[in-house]
Amino acid sequence: MLFALICKDKPGGLQVRLDTRPEHVAFLEGLNGDKKLAFAGPFLDADGKPNGSLVVVEAPDLPSAQALSAADPYAKAGLFQSVEIRQWNWTFNKPAAS
Bridge partners (DSSP) listed for residue 83: 7
The pTM of this model reads: 0.91
For residues 70 and 41, what is the distance between their CA atoms, to the nearest angstrom?
17
CA atoms within 13 Å, Cβ hemisphere of 2:
14
Q: Does domain 2-88 have CATH number 3.40.309.10?
A: no
Name the pLDDT band for 83 (thresholds 50, 70, 90): very high
List, for residues 12-54, the tens digit of each pLDDT value.
999 999 999 999 999 999 998 888 999 999 999 999 999 999 9
